[in-house]
Amino acid sequence: AGAGGLSEGFIRKGFLPVAHVEMDKYAVLTLKTRLAYHYLKSMEKEKHYFHYIQRRIPREELYSVVPGEILQSVINREIKEDTLEQIFSNIESLMEWWNVKRINVVVGGPPCQAYSLIGRGRDKYRMEKDPRNYLYKYYVEFLKRFSPDIFVFENVPGLLSAGKQKLWEDLQEYFRNAGYEIQYRLLDAN
C-alpha cells in the first residue's frame, strides 16, 4: 500500500478501502492517519484531525476517536509465502465488519525500486537478484483469492524493460494464467 497515494485517489472518488497491506511502519502510520481523517470528516468531526496536525493532541488521542476496525484495516505485514493466509484471513474478517460481500477492485503495486531505471543503474546486478522483482506473484494471489472485476497494478516504466523485457512477459503470463488480461498505460502526472 505504501503511504496510500493510490488509496487516497480512490477514496476521493467514493471507493471504500476494505484493507491496506504495508510492511513499513511509517507508511502504516500515514495510512492510519489518513483513514482517521476520512472517517472523522464523514462524521463531521475533523477538528480532531486538525488538532492532531497542529500538534495539540498526540496520535494516540486522534486514533482513540476512530473505530478500531478502521485502524486495523491497515495490516502491518510483509507479504510473503508464510504470511499470505493470515493476511487473507484478516481481509476476510474486515469484509465481514464492513459488510462487504466481495472485493470489486484490487489496487496496488509492488515496490518500484526493483524496476526503476535509477535503481538498476545503482545496483551492480542491475536489480536482477532483488526479490522484490517477483512480488507481482503475490499480487496475483490476491486476484485469485478475491476475483475482483478490475485491478490497478501501478508501477514505473522501467517494469517494461526489466530483465531485458523478460520480466514483463512473465508478468503478463502470470496474470493471464489467473484469468486476467493486462494492458499498460504510461501516465505523466506532471
Q: List the one residue out of 135, 98, 128 whose CA is nearest residue 23.
A: 135
* Amino acid at the residue 9: G
Is residue 57 part of the annotated active site? The answer reads no
Do the bridges between strand 20-21 and strand 74-75 make them parallel or antiparallel, or are there none, so unpaired? parallel
On whether the CB atoms of residues 4 and 33 are closer than 8 A, the answer is: no
Q: List the one residue out of 77, 60, 57 whose CA is nearest residue 68.
A: 60
**Can you tell me the distance from the alpha carbon of 1 to that of 6, in angstroms, rounded to the nearest whole number?**
8
Query: Active site residue: 11, 57, 105, 112, which one?
Result: 112
Active site residues per annotation: 112
